[in-house]
Amino acid sequence: MKLDTRLSLVLHALLHMAGHGRTMTSADLALCMDTNPVVVRRTMAGLRRAGLVRSEKGHGGGWTLGRELAEISLRDVYAALGSPAVFALGNHTESPGCLIERAINDRLDGALREAEALLVARLGELTLADIWSGIADPFMAHQQRRKDHSHDQ
């Protein structure tokens, strides 16, 4: 089944924005993420509505972070996307008349809800700053060199 990769996509965007340090356009981000600027804008729309990022139109416009990395949990980002369905597994009939099917739905739903609760809790424990701090030193050095160079110009 085809996966929903929007959470992965916007997390990638947010951390590239943090690494870049300045406004990035949808086209910049699309290049980093090997996708299309419209996909970036469409997917980031929820984050803008939630205040996690800001966007500016017009010449010199683009995307900036709306909060510190440490103040954005993965759960915040997931919620800003509209809390999309976590599971690919589901019930064959959602409100069945059959008592057998209802009993099955109840049990499966129970197990799925537990797993979803654990997942969302874990996402709530992780901030963008946690991920950022885990990124390997070589990359940090690379980013730093890029910043230094751009400041020279």
Query: Which residue stretch of 43-51, 72-80, 96-104, 133-141 sits at the interface with DNA (rule: CB under 7 A)?
Result: 43-51
The residue (of 61 and 140) whose beta carbon lies closer to DNA is 61
Amino acid present at 96? P
Bridge partners of 53?
A: 65
Amino acid present at 62? G
Which run of H or of E encompasses 65?
strand 62-65
Residue 42 is a binding residue for a copy of itself (CB under 8 A): no
Q: DSSP letters of 26-78?
A: HHHHHHHHTS-HHHHHHHHHHHHHTTSEEEE-STT-EEEESS-GGG-BHHHHH
Task: Please report, for residues 111, 112, 122, the alpha-carbon distance to residue 10 in angstroms, rounded to integers and kept in the order given.
Answer: 28, 25, 18
CB of 24 to a copy of itself, least distance (A): 13
The residue (of 61 and 118) whose beta carbon lies closer to a copy of itself is 118
Site mask, DNA, residues 58-97, x = CB under 7 A?
Answer: xxxxxx--------------------xx------x-----
Binding site for a copy of itself (CB under 8 A): 1-5, 7-9, 11-12, 15-16, 19, 32-35, 74, 84-93, 98-101, 103-108, 110-112, 114-116, 118-119, 122-123, 126, 130-132, 134-136, 138-139
